Amino acid sequence: MRRIWGSWTGRIGLVLVGGMTAAGVLSTVWTPYDPHVLLPSQRWKPISFTHPFGTDASGRDLFSLVISGAWTTARVVFLSTVIAAVIGMVLGILSAIAPRWIGEAMAHLIDVMIAIPALVLALVLVAGLGGSIVTISLAIGIAFGIVFARVIRVEAHKALTNDYIVAAHASGASTWRIAWRHVVPNIAPTIIVQLSLIAALTILTEAALSFLGLMPLATISWGRMLQDLQSTMTIHPLALVFPGIAVVLATLGFNLLGDGVREALDPQLKARGASAAIDPLLAPTAIGTDMP
């Protein structure tokens, strides 16, 4: 954590992500105005002390809407990332440790499923289960989880070629034990970085899905705000800027956080690379050089 804070990208990322989460949590207990109440008398108020971001066509306070939207985004990001992590790790690691033919079959299946876009999956799920934060997160989580599984499979495969995996087998460790004790810890840096990138993409996808109206009406989200405001874009362009900026900053936040985490973990990777590079120097001595 301190390492992440140590780099500029990580620091900005942490501030943006932290800020978004804090705003979201705050919106559950307090917002300046109730974002669900329509006040026609207050429509299109300009930016002022009472309405820092102004109001929309129904007289709702845009600032309250933006911080409430942060809560929706935070929940979708959390759920989607957890779902993607579970799907990706289970499928990815299983396909890497399974017997060859099962693993290959799973890999091909994963390749086919990657072809299904998150949007189409979301439309199907919303049609089947009804639009909600959970449905949207499920769609995003599954779509990204499949892509994530591909990455995990490759990384796990690489980790499995290590000598210490053979050594663990020689100690009688079961495949499951090896996966849990040796493979997961060694691909953890990749997992963390990939998940932070998935979180960033989730924000964009969620905004897109809400923009298309897949989120229920009662759920305040940045995508829906953009959709509401875009019809009056030429008359009130400033109103559109705030949810737009919120999406950009949140996405940027997760992207930078991902970079920060990568940088924080990198020196460790370098150190490991260096110790591996030593071994040709220690490696085979000619026959009979050692005659103690």
Partner 1 sequence: MTHIVGEPRQHHREHAARLLEVSDLTVRIGATTVVDHVSFAVDCGERLGIIGESGSGKTLSALSVIGLTPDVADVSGSVRFEGVELLGMPDRQIAKLRGDRIATVFQNPLTSLNPLMRVGRQISETLRIHRDIGRAKAAKAAVELAARVGLPDPARAVRAYPHQLSGGQRQRVGIAIAIAARPRLLIADEPTTALDVTVQAEIISLLDELIADEGTALLFITHDIALISQVARSLLVMRHGQVVEQGGVNDLIRTPQHPYTAQLVAAARATSTDRALP
Smallest separation, CB 165 to partner 1 (Å):
9
Q: Is 286 in the site for partner 1 (CB under 8 A)?
A: yes
* Category of 213 on φ-ψ map: left (φ > 0), alpha (ψ -120 to 50) or beta: left
Q: Is 273 in the site for partner 1 (CB under 8 A)?
A: no
Taking CB under 8 A as the criterion, the residue among 30, 41, 49, 172 binding partner 1 is 172
Cβ closest to partner 1, residue 147 vs residue 187: 187
Taking CB under 8 A as the criterion, the residue among 86, 120, 167, 238 binding partner 1 is 167
Residues belonging to the chain: 292
Q: Is 182 in the site for partner 1 (CB under 8 A)?
A: yes
- Report helix, strand or coil for 9: helix
Interface stretch with partner 1, choices 39-47, 162-170, 208-216, 221-229 (CB under 8 A): 162-170
Taking CB under 8 A as the criterion, the residue among 163, 217, 218, 231 binding partner 1 is 163
Q: Is 235 in the site for partner 1 (CB under 8 A)?
A: no
| Sign of the torsion formed by the C-alpha atoms of 89, 93, 98 and 100 | positive
Interface stretch with partner 1, choices 18-26, 134-142, 202-210, 283-291 (CB under 8 A): 283-291
What does the alpha-carbon distance between residue 154 and residue 128 come to, in Å, rounded to a whole number? 33
Q: Is 181 in the site for partner 1 (CB under 8 A)?
A: yes
Sequence-distant (≥ 6) Cβ neighbours of residue 97 within 8 angstroms: 103, 156, 160, 175, 176, 178, 179, 183
Q: Which amino acid makes up residue 87? A: I
Q: Is 285 in the site for partner 1 (CB under 8 A)?
A: yes
- Among candidate residues 133, 106, 102, the one with its CA nearest the CA of residue 214: 133
Smallest separation, CB 120 to partner 1 (Å):
37
What does the alpha-carbon distance between residue 196 and residue 203 come to, in Å, rounded to a whole number? 11
Q: Is 278 in the site for partner 1 (CB under 8 A)?
A: yes
Cβ closest to partner 1, residue 29 vs residue 278: 278
Beta bridge partners of 55: 61
The size of the interface with partner 1 (CB under 8 A), counted in residues, is 35
Smallest separation, CB 271 to partner 1 (Å):
7
Task: Give 117-135 as a 3 state SS string.
Answer: CHHHHHHHHHHHHCCCHHH
Cβ closest to partner 1, residue 60 vs residue 182: 182
- Among candidate residues 134, 131, 139, 129, the one with its CA nearest the CA of residue 87: 139
Q: Is 98 in the site for partner 1 (CB under 8 A)?
A: no
Q: Which two tokens stand for residue 146?
A: 């499949």
Q: Is 166 in the site for partner 1 (CB under 8 A)?
A: yes
What does the alpha-carbon distance between residue 44 and residue 48 come to, in Å, rounded to a whole number? 12
Question: Which spans of this chain sit near partner 1 (rule: CB under 8 A)?
Answer: 100, 162-164, 166-174, 177, 181-182, 185-186, 271-272, 275-276, 278-279, 282-292
